[in-house]
Amino acid sequence: MMSSVSSLPRSTGVVVDYATLWLEILRELAPRIPRSQFITWFKDTAILGREEGKLVVGLPLPMSLGWHMEHYSALTLEAAQRIDSTILQIVYRVDVGLKDDAKRTLNLLEHFPEKKRRKLPGKQEVRLAEGLVSKILNPRYMLENFIVGSSNRLAYAACQAVSVQPGGRYNPLFLYGGVGLGKTHLLQATGNAILKLMPTATVVYTTTEDFTNQVIEAIQRQKMEQFRRRYRVVDVLIIDDVQFLANKERTQEEFFHTFNALYEEQKQIILSADRPPKELQLEDRLTSRFEKGMIADVSPPDYETRLAILVEKAQEYELFIDRTVLEFIAEHADQNVRELEGILMQVVAQYDLEQRVPTVKSIAEIMEKLSKDFYKEEDLVGFTVPPKRMASFQDVLEGVSRYYSVSVQDMIGSSRVREILIPRQIVMFLLKRYLRMSYERIGDVFSKRDHTTVINAVKKIEKVLQHDPQLLREVRALEKELDFV
């Protein structure tokens, strides 16, 4: 899989390449870490070298350093020693070049495939009739385990009503709201509930993307007629995220016909989007069709609802967490429900890894680690990217690195030559000013430098900026490039 051929002489005289060694170690490690955590934290890692008993492990992001040292170094060493007992120590080195470098890193998803726990193994879709497929409804999404609060009461009530009388008064049903607020949950739960009451109903749940692909395929194969016929047998059509219909004229047109055919036969249609119909910028006739039925929004949950959701999820995960801890999370994570779940996932990891009962303090630590200014990475389990993309600290590092032609590695490293020192101090200055990172965290990023070093660096840049027009120009240019101003 890997093409890295750097070879590693072992005391046994056996020569293996680093990639093979790392894979063997990861195979030891994987069963001991929850899979999602494993994939998140070990993605794009590699062995960079070996210095006698020291094994040098490369991490793609500066911010994973602290996490690895705190959570995985002991486990990793143990695993390594099981493979090669002459390894005495694990040292970490950040090498941002590892990120997405398929040549130097292992494809974890391939080497560690997910064990399927679905009812229909390996299948994400069900075939309902000739050529008619639906995505499988997740049985975890139920109306019964959806927590109702003022933020989603109307949407929930509408789903409830539709589930007992599809094609009735609320047709079409249109739910809208921001990401991670429960739209998909409600849509699938309604589908599940209908099937429970009417097991022979033909319920199609699909995403706008899938629907579009089907339309395109039908057009290419000149099978539009067949496509339309297929949808006539549908009793309930559920389409998630219809905001993606924007700018897809042909799909919109087809959707319009399908919609009308179903609507006229009083078949139920349920849709979701991130915006109300009017703001979707679709063909007018489609917009007005959407507006014919029931429109309900879901908004971010209030504190009580967040707490109730946490209690519910903790039960689902069989976690026994002190109520004060849940209250603390509910108080501080107020963006969306997915964020709440993300934090719970971290709590699960803490249980698994350290057999440690979560406390307010340990959760506060987790949340600080995950807090917005520090973490803008998409891969983190359970987190969604904020809609407006702000420069992440990775961007700052890379931006400054490009601007001054100094490698990120050097900036993070310990060299004090001026050519490297100034860019490093500018990075610190920008991280502080625009990402509002704490001095401690900035220190962590820079090879665990003391926070006083960071304070001095930031102060120094602030001072020099007042009398050095050259530096001022450079910093302004960087601020522009990073979209800070």
Binding residues (CB under 6 A) for ligand ADP: these are 146-147, 152, 179-185, 309, 312, 337-338, 341
Residue 230, contacted partner among Mg ion, ligand ADP, none, CB below 5-8 A by kind = none
Number of residues that bind Mg ion (CB under 5 A): 1
* Pair of tokens at residue 200: 């022979």
Name which of 184 and 190 has its Cβ closer to ligand ADP: 184
Rounded-to-integer distance, Cα 364 and Cα 94, Å: 26
Tell me the closest approach of the beta carbon of residue 243 to ligand ADP, in angstroms: 11
Tell me the closest approach of the beta carbon of residue 37 to ligand ADP, in angstroms: 18
Name which of 4 and 184 has its Cβ closer to ligand ADP: 184
Tell me the closest approach of the beta carbon of residue 183 to Mg ion, in angstroms: 5
Closest residue by beta carbon to ligand ADP: 182
Name which of 57 and 155 has its Cβ closer to ligand ADP: 155
Picking from 193, 183, 136, 184, the residue whose alpha carbon sits closest to that of residue 160 is 193
Rounded-to-integer distance, Cα 475 and Cα 89, Å: 40
Rounded-to-integer distance, Cα 431 and Cα 423, Å: 12
Tell me the closest approach of the beta carbon of residue 337 to ligand ADP, in angstroms: 3
Tell me the closest approach of the beta carbon of residue 151 to ligand ADP, in angstroms: 8
Ranges within 173-192 binding Mg ion (CB under 5 A): 184
Name which of 77 and 367 has its Cβ closer to ligand ADP: 367
Evaluated on CA atoms 351, 109, 336, 195, the torsion sign reads: negative
Question: Could you tell me if residue 291 is left (phi over 0), alpha (psi between -120 and 50 degrees) or otherwise beta?
Answer: alpha
Name which of 22 and 146 has its Cβ closer to ligand ADP: 146
Residues 6+ away with beta carbon under 8 Å from 330: 303, 306, 307, 310, 340
Residue 228, contacted partner among Mg ion, ligand ADP, none, CB below 5-8 A by kind = none
* Pair of tokens at residue 193: 């509930």
Name which of 172 and 443 has its Cβ closer to ligand ADP: 172
Residue 337, contacted partner among ligand ADP, Mg ion, none, CB below 5-8 A by kind = ligand ADP
Tell me the closest approach of the beta carbon of residue 289 to ligand ADP, in angstroms: 22
Tell me the closest approach of the beta carbon of residue 295 to ligand ADP, in angstroms: 15
Evaluated on CA atoms 65, 70, 72, 75, the torsion sign reads: positive
Name the DSSP class of 32: G
Picking from 298, 285, 275, 279, the residue whose alpha carbon sits closest to that of residue 255 is 285
Tell me the closest approach of the beta carbon of residue 240 to Mg ion, in angstroms: 6
Rounded-to-integer distance, Cα 129 and Cα 231, Å: 10
Q: Which long-range contacts (CB under 8 A, 24 or more apart) does 31-38 make?
A: 32/75, 32/79, 33/72, 33/75, 33/349, 33/352, 33/353, 34/348, 34/349, 34/352, 35/112, 35/114, 36/345, 36/381, 37/345, 37/349, 37/352, 37/353, 37/381, 38/108, 38/112
Name which of 141 and 393 has its Cβ closer to ligand ADP: 141
Residue 181, contacted partner among ligand ADP, Mg ion, none, CB below 5-8 A by kind = ligand ADP
Rounded-to-integer distance, Cα 253 and Cα 265, Å: 19
Closest residue by beta carbon to Mg ion: 184
* Pair of tokens at residue 175: 């739910």
Q: How many contiguous H segments (helices) and E segments (strands) does the chain have?
A: 21, 12
Name which of 330 and 457 has its Cβ closer to ligand ADP: 330
**120: amino acid identity, one letter:** L
Ranges within 232-271 binding Mg ion (CB under 5 A): none
For β-strands 268-273 and 173-177, DSSP reports them as parallel
Name which of 253 and 274 has its Cβ closer to ligand ADP: 274
Residue 271, contacted partner among Mg ion, ligand ADP, none, CB below 5-8 A by kind = none
Tell me the closest approach of the beta carbon of residue 270 to Mg ion, in angstroms: 13
Ranges within 399-458 binding Mg ion (CB under 5 A): none
Query: Which H or E run contains 268?
Result: strand 268-273
Ranges within 265-304 binding Mg ion (CB under 5 A): none
Rounded-to-integer distance, Cα 485 and Cα 478, Å: 10
Residue 147, contacted partner among ligand ADP, Mg ion, none, CB below 5-8 A by kind = ligand ADP
Name which of 73 and 299 has its Cβ closer to ligand ADP: 299
Interface ranges with Mg ion (CB under 5 A)? 184
